[in-house]
Amino acid sequence: MNNREMVILSVGGVRFVTRASTLQQFPESRLARMLNHDDQEFKLVNGEFFVDRDGTLFSYIMDFLRTLQVSLPTDFSDYQRLQREAEFYGLYPLADILSQEHLLKPRLEILEVRFSLQEMQAFFRIFGSCSTTVETLAEQITVFTGQQSGQSWNSPFPSQKPLVPLPLERPSHHDMVFQCGTDYSAGDQFVARYVSIKPDNRKLINGTNVLGLLLDTLLKDGFRLISTRTISSAEKVECYSLERMSRPAGLTI
């Protein structure tokens, strides 16, 4: 890169190196005019443009110029200060978006797992505030049905017949229903349902084991368990509530 293509800025003591074309994304901005030495706010010292502004916030300005997207950390809170910086640099499209904080702030996502253990069967129902998350989770969970001999769902997986995958029940875009364990018997043959949750390759028939794997999968995906309660002691229905902060997609100019 020759000297005409490379531009060095020192913003509040923080040094930035970029291309001239990056700073010219918005020709009417002060950063674009700076390159023509048309703005006295930017002092050229030893080949570097110096400006007495916030260097930390300017890193978000540079990210916007490079990607034409507004994507901020989940813990970001200085929307008004960053908006003022965008206005200072004459980047009014960015300032307009920053004035609408609700478009950029992380959203709280809630997921609820209901678990019912009844004799040799376990029933699951998952509700989610974000349909995309529920859809992704539905793609991870597979229920298989097959026959086995024995009288306990804790028996090792012995089926000699191939297992058949079953579709999950989807009452709506925001929930799903499935079950595991023994359905019924015919002689000494038990028709059973096994559950597999990616990326784990095991096929589990024990409801408690499936619950443990499901919660572990959700925790690894960024959820945190906020409460556990019994909805119905008679029907043995337990409810596990989880939440996570969901980062919004970057807004494109």
pLDDT at 2: 44
The pTM of the full predicted model, rounded to 2 decimals, is 0.63
Per-residue pLDDT of the chain (253 residues; tens, 9 = 90+): 444 689 999 999 999 999 999 999 999 999 999 998 878 889 898 989 999 999 999 999 999 999 999 988 877 889 999 999 999 999 999 999 999 877 787 778 999 999 999 888 999 999 999 898 999 999 999 999 987 665 554 555 554 567 899 889 999 999 999 999 987 655 566 778 999 999 998 999 999 999 999 999 999 999 999 999 998 777 789 999 999 877 666 677 7
Q: Do 6-104 and 108-246 show the same overall fold? A: no
Phi, psi of 116 (to 5 degrees): -130, 125
pLDDT at 106: 76
> What are the structural domain ranges in the chain?
6-104, 108-246
- Residue of 215, 237, 210 whose CA lies nearest to 226: 215
CA gap 162, 144 in Å, rounded = 9
pLDDT at 152: 53
**Is 86 exposed, middle or buried, given 0-12, 13-18 or 19+ CB atoms closer than 10 A?**
buried
pLDDT at 250: 63
Domain 108-246 class, CATH top level: alpha beta
pLDDT at 3: 45
pLDDT at 1: 41
pLDDT at 160: 52
192, 206 in Cβ contact below 8 A?
no
139, 197 in Cβ contact below 8 A?
no
Specify the CATH superfamily of domain 6-104: Potassium Channel Kv1.1; Chain A (3.30.710.10)
- Residue of 215, 214, 195 whose CA lies nearest to 205: 195
